[in-house]
Amino acid sequence: MRIVADENIPYVADAFGPLGVVKTMAGRKMTREALAEADVLLVRSITPVNEALLAGTPVRFVGTATIGFDHVDTAYLERQGIAFATASGSNANSVAEYITAALLVLAERSEVRLEGKTLGVVGYGNVGTKVVRYGSGVLGMRVLINDPPLQRAGVPVEFVGLEQVLAESDAVTFHVPLTKEGPDRTHRLIDGAQLAKMKPGAILLNSARGLVVVGADLQAALAAGRVGAAVLDVWENEPGIDAALLERVAIGTPHIAGYSFDGKVAGTQMLFDAVCRQFKISDKFVNWTTLVAPAEDREIPFTASGDDQKDLRNLLRRIYDIEADDARLRRLAEMPAGQQGAYFDKLRKEYPVRREAWNYGVKVAGDAASLEGKLESLRFHVQ
The residues annotated with a catalytic role in the active site are 209, 238, 255
- Please measure the distance between the N-terminal and C-terminal CA atoms of the chain and give it in whole angstroms: 47
Please report how the helices 92-110 and 261-278 are oriented relative to each other, as an axis angle in degrees rounded to 10: 160
Asked whether the beta carbons of 145 and 133 are under 8 A apart, the reply is no
Contact present, 241 and 211 (Cβ < 8 Å): no
**Would you give the distance in Å from CA 382 to the centre of its chain?**
26
Q: By C-alpha distance, which of 330, 357, 344 is closest to 97?
A: 357
Give all strands (DSSP E) within the chain, no chain letters.
2-6, 21-25, 40-43, 61-64, 83-86, 118-122, 142-146, 171-174, 203-206, 229-232, 251-252, 299-303, 361-365, 381-382
| Contact in structure between 268 and 63 (CB atoms under 8 Å) | no
Angle 127-130-135 from CA coordinates, rounded to 5°: 120
Cite the beta strand spans of 220-275 per DSSP E: 229-232, 251-252
Residues 6+ apart with CB under 8 A from 290: none
Residues contacting 78, CB < 8 A, separation 6+: 84
User: How many CB atoms neighbour CB 191 within 10 A?
Assistant: 14
259 with 322: CB under 8 angstroms? no
d(CA 148, CA 31): 38
Tell me if 144 sits within 8 A of 123, measured CB to CB.
no
Amino acid at 375: L
DSSP string, 178-209: ---SSTT--TT-B-HHHHTTSPTT-EEEE-S-
To 5 degrees, how large is the angle CA 172–CA 231–CA 330? Answer: 175
The phi, psi pair for 49, rounded to 5°, reads -110, 110
